[in-house]
Structure 1
Amino acid sequence: MVKCCASVFLSLLFLSLLSIDSSESYGTNDGLEQWGYVQVRPKAHMFWWHYRSPKRVDSGPTPWPTVLWLQGGPGASGVGIGNFEEIGPLDYNLKPRNSTWLQFADLLFVDNPVGTGYSFVENTSLLVTTDEEASSDLTELLKQLYNKNPEMQKSPLYIFAESYGGKYAVTLGLSVVRAVKSGDLKLKLGGVAIGDSWISPEDFVFSWGPLLLDLSRLDSNAAANSNSMAEKIKQQIEAGKYGQATNSWGDLETYIISSSNSVDFYNFLLDSDMDPLGAAASSSNNGLSLRRYARYLSMKGESPSDTLTKIMNGVIKDKLKIIPKNITWQEESNEVFMALSNDFMKPRINEVDELLSLGVNVTIYSGQLDIICATKGTEAWVQKLKWDGLKNFTNLARTPLYCDGSDGGTKGFYRSYQNLHFYWVLHAGHFVPYDQPCIALRLLKETTQSPASS
């Protein structure tokens, strides 16, 4: 589905690039940052960026954690978006972020899958087409980083993901478990945390009509039509026609946008044109409606998206030094999305079930204001788990969450049983760390059992 001319262009383009040694890495003089490329497959190069926390505690009964952050899209850049707009040490204006996750963990950002952000392939035929292929590449990256680094091996790895990144996270979690068991990978997996994640597309599309009807963004006729379109998607998924289901998903989003006067799919309190990074639809060759990976930033003048693009192709690229000159960083790669379009609507509930059965800690967190991965849909797929602790989990009362030093009031709810943990985050949309940084830091600290002081 990728244009043939793009493949020819990339093949010619990369003839001019210097080869990149997967064993090489670069960093800052203080040792707090390190970055590099790993050739995860021949001619497929994945970029990574590791931050060592200045608050790191290396002694004591609880080891210092490392968070691997996986962005969504698919095709959105974790090195750019997650790093500079959500949890990294600097914001997109290169100013220190008070809510950086480095307070409680080391951070590892990757541009995943290959073809995303600074990562690249020398031929578009090397783009991944399934979540399993993406997890295989990520596992190879971890082998290159961890197997010869005893210092990193001491730090348990927690895989945190957002949006479509949740599908990568659960497939990667299983791949890591297998690789560790076989002796091919030397690390300790601390857990998997999936935020507003596209685990069960069927349950999410069925949540949109009822949710938006209750919110008065759809009337009863539009909600009924939405449900009918969702039923068509369900039938396509059940028949294994995942590519068709992806097209129908695009049709449903387009219908809801027009029927709701452009509700923002990532925050139902907003219209999409109220967000300077707004989720403007674009079209591919086959008419599939693609939505950009929106965030909720309010500023005057140029949009944060423009600012991020400028710094990633300017001062950041200059700092890193090793990004090939012909690589232009993009916030999101349509080519990566299209390559995964036949896997996009596949559910990954079984992978969550398997992680739970293996005893892996699984944390789910969901923003109250999200539509695309609405809490209503998340709760629906959780109830489909076959995990033997589900009934006890569901019967437990939720614990309210607060934040010290905030404006007071309930900020969320929490429920936990054995190795399943769920955070309901109030007043947050799709991007919880940005909308509610205090609660995000709390769930980070509790999930990783970070020894850092609050």
Structure 2
Amino acid sequence: MAAAKLLLLSALAVLLLVLLPSAAAIGTADGSEEWGYVEVRPKAHMFWWLYRSPHRVENGTTPWPTVLWLQGGPGASGAGYGNFMEIGPLDTDLKPRATTWLNKDNPVGTGFSYVEGGNTSLLARTDAKAASDLTALLIKLYRDNKRLQGSPLYIVAESYGGKFAVTTALVALQAIGNGQLKAKLGGVALGDSWISPEDSVLSWGPLLYEMSRIDESGLQQCNSIAQKIKAQLKANKYADAEKSWEDLESAVLEQSNFVNFYNLLKDESSDDATTLTLAGGKRVRKEGYTSYLGSKATREGGLDGLMDTVIKAKLGIVPKNFTWGQQSGDVFEALEGDFMKPRIHEVDELLKLGVDVTIYSGQLDLICATKGTLDWVQKLKWDGLKKFNSSPRKPLYCKGGETGTQGFVRSYKNLKFYWILGAGHMIPIDNPCPALTMLGDITQSPAQ
């Protein structure tokens, strides 16, 4: 398994109401952590946090991988949720995480990132702009950090972060090609990603019906709204499709007695049971993604309390009057125009360019269900798709097979697909062992 460097970004960041100049990188005395801000464009500041694995040994010959983690939402923070809830070295009680990805060894307005003066017009409003911002950050980091330059970069994403990952990878490749970014792209991994909203929503009704969460009437209602979304997307009516998506979520919750979108074996909590509320006559979506993650925080005060006290004090560069939030609704709203747009074409482009693409999906996820993911994969125009489909699936095991089959993997050339059993949307939380096995396979570390 790969000993890696782990780069966590609040790339699309939380809004800040004060001015703060971009700070130079600072970190721990032993060099195991670094963090800082980069002004990716005028008045837009992106926060980053870099960990180095304690298992990493410099041998002078083989470069070690760097894993860039991109959170979903859009508007959730990788430096918060991904770090302390899923893959970082410490949990929300600041105790060592046995399954940290270091053992395998974003947009502005999210997390600790911010735009000056709280000016929402400065937020990224397209996936392409978010990718441009993230690439600007990478250019600065790789220019200033020589150790990163020799380390292959693996962009690993979850949920909406998958859309950021594929768009960023393409922009980064251009920057590498013209000499702006001194990096080598090792690959892209898309975890339970919102790559094709159409295929995702079309899978909801049938999956819930097969799992006994809805009846025939519920199936008919869900399928009807999903077909409406399909027609709206075909007509490029993305704003209308987003509103219909909200209607479909409401129908799913009502017909299923509040199934959890991130693990369909569970129910939504009472706090998250209503995803649509009225605020001054305007429909506002409650962000269940970050609420789900936040509900798993055991520390008193939850993740918000941790980020606003201990972590802010440790970092030393976040303004005292800044409040870290579970999710930036402003970021979500800014990206509404792109929210329902597919990114299948971008995956195709990466495959054609020879970039290693890994797709991984949790068996129990509903929001980005495996069936929907498999359906959009079949829409790829990549010339290796037919042979990929006929390649055998290989089982995944953990602990010498004592725990039984934990998943499956199929691969051909530069495309891999992982089926992860016993996990929902947040695979590193629900079933970390096969996720770590996958990471080691993807990064092909020289150390075991």
Instruction: Give TM class, smaller chain.
Output: over 0.9
Encode CA deviations 1:242-288: one digit per residue, 9 max, x unaligned. 111111111100110011000000001001128xx857525475314
Is the Cα contact below 8 Å between 1:207 and 1:374 reproduced in 2?
yes
* Cα distance change of structure 1 residues 306 and 388 upon mapping to structure 2, 3 Å threshold: farther
Instruction: Give the distance between the partners of 2:294 and 2:121, measured in 1 at CA.
Output: 36
* Cα distance change of structure 1 residues 251 and 187 upon mapping to structure 2, 3 Å threshold: same
Aligned partner of residue 342 in structure 1, secondary structure: helix
- Equivalent of 2:269, from 264, 268, 273? 273
Aligned partner of residue 144 in structure 2, secondary structure: coil
Alignment partner, residue 186 of structure 1 = 182
Is the Cα contact below 8 Å between 1:243 and 1:341 reproduced in 2?
yes
Amino acid at match of 1:76: A
1:152 matched to 2:154: no
Alignment partner, residue 170 of structure 2 = 174
Alignment partner, residue 64 of structure 1 = 64
Identity over the aligned pairs, expressed in percent? 60
Alignment partner, residue 3 of structure 1 = none
1:218 matched to 2:214: yes
Per the TM alignment, residue 297 of structure 1 is displaced from its structure 2 partner at its CA by 8.3
What is the count of residue pairs matched by the alignment? 429
**Where do residues 54-453 of structure 1 align in structure 2 (5 Å cutoff)?**
54-59=54-59, 62-105=62-105, 112-122=106-116, 123-273=119-269, 281-283=275-277, 286-293=282-289, 294-295=291-292, 306-404=301-399, 407-453=402-448
Amino acid at match of 2:196: S
Per the TM alignment, residue 59 of structure 1 is displaced from its structure 2 partner at its CA by 1.9
Instruction: Give the distance between the partners of 2:293 and 2:115, measured in 1 at CA.
Output: 31
Per the TM alignment, residue 305 of structure 1 is displaced from its structure 2 partner at its CA by 9.3
Per the TM alignment, residue 62 of structure 1 is displaced from its structure 2 partner at its CA by 3.7
Alignment partner, residue 9 of structure 2 = none
Is the Cα contact below 8 Å between 1:279 and 1:292 reproduced in 2?
no
Instruction: Give the distance between the partners of 2:314 and 2:75, measured in 1 at CA.
Output: 23
Which stretches in structure 1 are left out of the alignment for 5+ residues? 1-9, 106-111
Alignment partner, residue 19 of structure 1 = 21
* Cα distance change of structure 1 residues 284 and 440 upon mapping to structure 2, 3 Å threshold: farther
Is the Cα contact below 8 Å between 2:213 and 2:256 reproduced in 1?
yes
Aligned partner of residue 314 in structure 2, secondary structure: helix
Is the Cα contact below 8 Å between 1:204 and 1:378 reproduced in 2?
yes
Which stretches in structure 2 are left out of the alignment for 5+ residues? 1-14
Aligned partner of residue 387 in structure 1, secondary structure: coil
Per the TM alignment, residue 406 of structure 1 is displaced from its structure 2 partner at its CA by 6.7
Is the Cα contact below 8 Å between 1:62 and 1:449 reproduced in 2?
no
Per the TM alignment, residue 413 of structure 1 is displaced from its structure 2 partner at its CA by 0.3
Per the TM alignment, residue 316 of structure 1 is displaced from its structure 2 partner at its CA by 0.4
Amino acid at match of 2:49: W
Encode CA deviations 1:6-49: one digit per residue, 9 max, x unaligned. xxxx79x32xx34234xx11100000000000000110010000
Instruction: Give the distance between the partners of 1:290 and 1:207, measured in 2 at CA.
Output: 22
Alignment partner, residue 32 of structure 2 = 32
User: Structure 1 length normalisation: TM-score?
Assistant: 0.91
Instruction: Give the distance between the partners of 1:278 and 1:427, measured in 2 at CA.
Output: 23
Q: What value does the CA root-mean-square deviation take over the aligned residues?
A: 1.9
Per the TM alignment, residue 449 of structure 1 is displaced from its structure 2 partner at its CA by 0.8
Instruction: Give the distance between the partners of 2:441 and 2:62, measured in 1 at CA.
Output: 12
Amino acid at match of 2:164: Y
Alignment partner, residue 46 of structure 1 = 46
Instruction: Give the distance between the partners of 1:170 and 1:192, measured in 2 at CA.
Output: 7
Instruction: Give the distance between the partners of 1:366 and 1:44, measured in 2 at CA.
Output: 33
Aligned partner of residue 286 in structure 2, secondary structure: strand
Instruction: Give the distance between the partners of 1:160 and 1:268, measured in 2 at CA.
Output: 24
Instruction: Give the distance between the partners of 2:328 and 2:421, measured in 1 at CA.
Output: 31
Is the Cα contact below 8 Å between 2:272 and 2:286 reproduced in 1?
no
Is the Cα contact below 8 Å between 2:258 and 2:273 reproduced in 1?
no
Is the Cα contact below 8 Å between 2:361 and 2:370 reproduced in 1?
yes
Aligned partner of residue 403 in structure 2, secondary structure: coil
Per the TM alignment, residue 87 of structure 1 is displaced from its structure 2 partner at its CA by 0.3
Per the TM alignment, residue 57 of structure 1 is displaced from its structure 2 partner at its CA by 2.8
Per the TM alignment, residue 149 of structure 1 is displaced from its structure 2 partner at its CA by 2.1
* Cα distance change of structure 1 residues 317 and 331 upon mapping to structure 2, 3 Å threshold: same
Amino acid at match of 1:172: T
